[in-house]
Amino acid sequence: MTPLSQLLPGQFGKLASLNPERGVDQRLMALGLLPGMVLKLIRKAPLGDPLAIEFAGQVVSLRLAEAENLIVDVSADCPIQRPRQP
């Protein structure tokens, strides 16, 4: 179990848990980022923050600090192939 903020660019993970009480996580849930969803850290912004993550066929930017509370499972049966880019 790893915080999303520690993923490397290009690495996949499966969302294990988030904090539904937080406004950020509520926004992400509305976009479909729910536990069990496979996501990929695409890149970090040139200054290291924020991050661009891909899930459910979309690319979303969120900050490092916000990604710390999103716990992902990197050992899970993530797809080897890349998800379709939007």
Partner 1 sequence: MSAPDTGLLVALVGNPNTGKSTLFNALTGLRQRVGNYPGVTVARKSGTCDLGEGQKVELVDLPGLYSLSAASPDEQVVTDALAGNIAGDRRPDAVLLVVDATNLLRNLFLASQVAELGLPVVLVLNQADVAKEQGLRIDTDLLSRRLGGVPVVLTSAWKGEGVAEIRRALARALAEKTQLARVAWPAEIARALGDVAAAASAGTDRAVSAADAQRLLFDATPSTAERLGWSAAARDKVLRSARDRVRNAGYNPMAAEPLVHYAHLRALLDGVVAEGLGKAGRTAAVDRLLLHRVLGPVLFVGIMLGFFASVFWLAKFPMGWIQSGVDALKLFVAPPLEPYPMLQSLLADGIVGGVGAFLTFLPQILILFLFLGVLEDSGYMARAAFIMDRLFSWCGLNGKSFVPMLSGFACAIPSLLSTRTIEDPKARLATAFVVPFMSCSARFPVYALMCGAFIGPLYGAGWESVVMVAMHCVGLLFAVPTAFVLTRLVLKVKPQPFVLELPRYQLPKPRDVLWRMWQNAAEFVSKAGTVIFAITIVVWALSYFPRDAAVAERVRAASPTLSADALRARIQAAYVEQSYMGRFGKAVQPAFDPLGFDWKITVGVLASFPAREVIVSTLGVTYSVGEGAEADSQALRKAMQDARWPEGPRAGSPIFSLAAVLALMVFFALCSQCGPTVATLAQETGGWRWAALSFGYMTLLAWAVAALVYQVVSRLA
Q: Rule CB under 8 A: which residues touch partner 1?
A: 20-24, 26-32, 34, 42-43, 45-50, 52, 56-63, 65-66, 84-86
Judged by beta carbon, residue 13 or residue 40, the one nearer partner 1 is: 40
Tokens 């890149």 locate to 43
**Contacts by 23-30 with C-beta closer than 8 Å and gap 24+?**
24/62, 24/66, 25/69, 25/70, 28/60, 28/62, 28/70
Smallest gap, in angstroms, from Cβ of residue 34 to partner 1?
6
Nearest-approach distance from CB 76 to partner 1, in angstroms: 19
